[in-house]
Amino acid sequence: MACFQYLSLVCCIIFLHAAGVKSECHLGWNHFEDSCYMFSKDALNWYLAESSCRGHGARLAEVTTKAQSDYLISMVKILNNGNEYWLGGRDDIIEGTWQWASTDKVFTYTAWGPTNPSNNGGDEDCLQLRDFGSVGIKWNDISCQVGIKFICEKQLDSDSSEIIG
């Protein structure tokens, strides 16, 4: 009887472990709600950053809720390196119309920093997270050609099946 109970416990642990693994992000990716996020160590321009994310079966992070925005900002604070990070927003197709790159959907939620988007020099068409000092980390438009770090995002479900490519 004791042996049977022990085996049941082992089976239960194995089952829970297997179930748990399925809902986790891959090593190096961080789980929030339905997505996995990777904060790059490399600095690339926006276009190469987007390509890099696609190479991981992901996209540049697209922020549609305050909760998601707060999470990403808190992660950037934890990394505490003063770095700026690309997000997947752009207005290079129609100036002043900000869209998410993977869907072309126009922004609904926004978290712009003071006086932004500013389109300085007529050449700020890509979306980054940067530190605005007293108001904290917010959104800024900047030239797409600047080399900075970036945040990739992919669906939690797609992460467990990413073997091909």
Bridge partners of 30, per DSSP, are: 37
Indicate whether 141 belongs to the interface with Ca ion (CB under 5 A): yes
Cβ atoms of 38 and 152 within 8 Å: the answer is yes
Give how far the C-alpha of residue 27 lies from the chain's centroid of Cα atoms, to the nearest Å: 15
- Closest separation between CB of residue 30 and Ca ion, Å? 27
Indicate whether 45 belongs to the interface with Ca ion (CB under 5 A): no
- Ranges of beta strands (E only) in the chain are 30-32, 35-39, 59-60, 85-90, 99-100, 126-131, 137-142, 149-155
Stretch that binds Ca ion, among 13-21, 42-50, 60-68, 135-143 (CB under 5 A): 135-143
Q: What's the CA gap between 37 and 73, in Å, rounded?
A: 12
For Ca ion, give the closer residue by CB, 55 or 147: 147
Indicate whether 143 belongs to the interface with Ca ion (CB under 5 A): no
Q: What's the CA gap between 119 and 73, in Å, rounded?
A: 22
Angle among Cα 76, 103, 113 to the nearest 5 degrees reads 35
Footprint on residues 86-125 left by Ca ion (CB under 5 A)? 91, 116, 118-119, 124-125
Indicate whether 52 belongs to the interface with Ca ion (CB under 5 A): no
- Closest separation between CB of residue 116 and Ca ion, Å? 5
Bridge partners of 139, per DSSP, are: 112, 129
Indicate whether 74 belongs to the interface with Ca ion (CB under 5 A): no
- Closest separation between CB of residue 163 and Ca ion, Å? 38
For Ca ion, give the closer residue by CB, 53 or 144: 144
Query: Where does this chain bind Ca ion (CB under 5 A)?
Result: 91, 116, 118-119, 124-125, 140-141
